[in-house]
Amino acid sequence: MLKNYFKIAIAVLKRRKFFTFISLFGISITLAILMVTTSFVDHMTGARYPEFKRERSLYVHSFKSSSKKGYINGGEPSFYFLNNYVLKLKTPEMVAICSSPASSNAYVNNKKLKLDIMFTNRAFWDVMEFEFIEGKPYTQQQILNGEFVSVINEDTRDAYFGQGVKAVGKYIESDNIQYRVIGVVKTVPITRMFSSSDLYVPYTLPKSGIETKGYMGNYMCVLLAKQKSDLTKIKEEYNQMMAKLPLADPKEWDTQESYADSYVGSFIRRSSGPGSKLGTIYFVIGAIVFVFMLLPTINLVNINITRIMERSSEIGVRKAFGASSGTLVVQFIVENMILTFLGGLLGLVFAAIVITIINTSGWIPNADLSLNFGVLTISFLLCVLFGFISGVYPALRMSRLQIVSALKA
């Protein structure tokens, strides 16, 4: 039966090549956009280099204070808050603390080289799984000793010392401070703010900002669970800690907020107002995605209806010879699914070309977008959903045509 449906579908597609081209073009472009978008979302939120442990990690990079008068003060946590309160939590296996990358300047042959510098603790190198091209990370003892050591990324090594030149044991100067290079890591895409930097140094060195005694500063942290099931316990312990946290300034502020969230949740929480519920925000995002898919679906529905009306006489003849409405519905949905998957294959080619251009263009420094198994699986499901939704209504409308009316059309 399916074999016959397939033959009919191919014959119908060959019959009106212009409509077939319009349909395939619309489907392929829409699905290509969805594939590239899915790949970009996976690039941003997936467990990718060097943050392979995201599935059992919680992130803290916001702290908000508010008053009954409506005043709000929000920003990143301070090292003081993370070191004196968060680091003392018992549930996490490790707590990686790092500063937000700060801009610094280096000079090579009298030319300015802008570098991002990140101050970290030792656990940072255990939570993140960097690929070391040379050397190794600094030790806890080196941090406590305040040694001017650093780990740099591959791009910085090539720009400062020369393409492929060994850097371990040499010195790099940034903002008039010399650091001895003890390690070189593969460069991290700039989109991964918890791990992307040009220069990594111990938090005990100058300009780290650890002297701030308030709760807000320029630091963030990653709480690593021993196993994924411990994430809920970590959240509960974190919330209990926040409930007991003394107000930074009781005369000015009435409430304080900070949460340990998933990677995506932490960014949504930071961009939302105090007291915002993640469930509501996820619903809004889902609604936006639904509307995005709905528009091209409606367009394809209209094209399919036009194709159906041209086949009304064929439908009338089939009904006259005993074809049931259910049989016709299944046939048309299968035909539409075949058309959608053909468009999906073209969309896959377009998406691969666009992703290659993005990765090689430098629009996103060190981007590593890909059509991996997860992206392809989601793309396949989108094809099925897109093809089914856009085919159901036209198929039902076709099945309800009266024999006489269909033959007269």
Query: Which of 233, 249, 302, 310 is CA-nearest to residue 58?
Result: 233
- The pTM of this model reads 0.79
Same domain? For 89 and 231 the reply is yes
Phi/psi at 99 (5° precision): -85, 160
Same domain? For 248 and 344 the reply is no
**Does residue 263 form part of some domain?**
no
* Tokens describing residue 82: 């993370």
pLDDT in tens, 189-199: 998 999 999 99
Same domain? For 207 and 286 the reply is no
Same domain? For 312 and 342 the reply is yes
Same domain? For 98 and 15 the reply is no
Distance CA 252, CA 20 (A): 66
Same domain? For 121 and 235 the reply is yes
Same domain? For 253 and 358 the reply is no
Residue listed under structure tokens 């280096």: 106
Q: What's the pLDDT at 369?
A: 87
**Does residue 271 form part of some domain?**
no
Q: Where are the alpha helices (DSSP H) in 2-78?
A: 2-15, 17-45
Q: Are 98 and 92 in contact (CB under 8 A)?
A: no
Q: What's the pLDDT at 157?
A: 97
Same domain? For 20 and 89 the reply is no
Same domain? For 246 and 287 the reply is no
pLDDT in tens, 315-355: 666 666 666 667 777 777 777 777 778 888 888 899 899 99
Position 274 confidence tier, pLDDT thresholds 50, 70, 90: very low
Same domain? For 250 and 308 the reply is no
Same domain? For 36 and 173 the reply is no
Burial code (b: 16+ CB inside 10 Å, e: under 16) for 3-26 equals: eebeebbeebbeeeeebbeebbeb
Domains of the chain: total: 2
Same domain? For 367 and 232 the reply is no
Domain that residue 131 falls in:
63-258
CA 78-128-94 angle, to 5 degrees, is: 60
